[in-house]
């Protein structure tokens, strides 16, 4: 900026809104046609899923929304110096131009660079998990695109978080059900896990509790005797979502978005 402040300027590509709307129109037509002629599409409410996707995508195209999301995360972590959220410069921000404070640091998955900088990776992992748990269970508002490129680790080990276009909101009921699901997984209780899945998802006509419990027994068996620190969360959640799809359980859009982000 004129005062020497380093910023990043994000500019929406000209014509992209019109192109996205055209593509979404095609998707909506395909979803409506599929739901009329293909039973699985009707069971999963494919038009509803496309509508949810369209709503999320349109929100990402408005940089004013992204700026407000960033400020909400800034307020969320204002008392936590270990999580850094860039400042938004509203005087040079519009719906198609976003100006924000530049963040420096090491990408969170660049392990050799982290080691060379003497960053304690166990402390870093705990810090990232604490931040995620605060987003989901305390604030019920979470960053839904947590790929490594959106995390910069600063020299002091603090985490600078960027890119707030895709976010999710967790209602109180879903938060409590998610906690039930996590307890069932960690206690390796397949019956409780079935209850959690059925509470969370909307079952299709092909859903069978007995068949679902058999598949979840298989999932839980892979955890038996293993300490939690050895369980890879991403593959585990991906397998759990595959079980849900197999049994025609349609998860709420906010929960599906959260599980997708956790599996990254």
Q: Which residues are catalytic?
A: 145
What does the angle CA 254 – CA 260 – CA 264 come to, to the nearest 5 degrees?
Answer: 145
Q: Indicate the DSSP class of residue 34.
A: H
Q: What number of other Cβ atoms are within 10 A of residue 14's Cβ? A: 8
> Which is it for strands 97-101 and 159-161: parallel, antiparallel or unpaired?
unpaired
Tokens describing residue 48: 């509803």
d(CA 230, CA 235): 12
Q: For residues 100 and 10, is the Cβ–Cβ distance under 8 A?
A: yes
CB 151 within 8 A of CB 140: no
Which residues are registered as beta bridge partners of 197? none
Contact 160, 151 (CB under 8 A): yes
CB atoms within 10 A of CB 85: 24
Give the span between the Cα atoms of 87 and 67, in whole angstroms.
9
Cα–Cα–Cα angle for 31, 236, 195, nearest 5°? 75
Tokens 């995508």 sit on residue? 57
Cβ within 8 Å of residue 231, ≥6 positions away = 223
């Amino acid at each position: 900026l004129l005062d020497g402040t380093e910023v990043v300027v994000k500019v929406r590509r000209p014509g992209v809104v019109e192109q996205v709307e055209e593509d979404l129109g095609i998707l909506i037509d395909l979803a409506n046609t599929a739901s009329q002629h293909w039973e699985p599409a009707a069971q999963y409410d494919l038009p509803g899923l496309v509508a949810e996707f369209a709503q999320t995508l349109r929100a990402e195209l408005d940089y004013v929304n992204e700026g407000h999301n960033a400020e909400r995360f800034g307020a969320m972590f204002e008392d936590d110096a270990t999580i850094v959220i860039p400042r938004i410069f509203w005087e040079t921000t519009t719906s198609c131009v976003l100006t924000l404070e530049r963040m420096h640091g090491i990408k969170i998955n660049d392990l050799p660079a982290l080691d060379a900088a003497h960053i304690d990776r166990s402390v870093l992992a705990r810090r990232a998990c604490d931040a995620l748990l605060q987003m989901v269970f305390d604030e019920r508002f979470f960053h839904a695109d947590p790929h490594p490129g959106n995390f910069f680790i600063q020299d002091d080990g603090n985490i600078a978080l960027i890119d707030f276009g895709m976010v999710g909101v967790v209602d109180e009921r879903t938060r409590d059900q998610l906690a039930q699901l996590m307890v069932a997984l960690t206690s390796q209780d397949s019956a409780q896990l079935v209850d959690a899945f059925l509470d969370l998802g909307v079952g299709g006509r092909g859903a069978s509790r007995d068949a679902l419990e058999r598949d979840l027994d298989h999932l839980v068996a892979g955890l038996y005797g293993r300490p939690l620190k050895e369980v890879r969360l991403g593959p585990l959640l991906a397998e759990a979502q595959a079980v849900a799809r197999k049994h025609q359980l349609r998860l709420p859009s906010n929960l599906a978005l959260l599980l997708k982000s956790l599996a990254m």
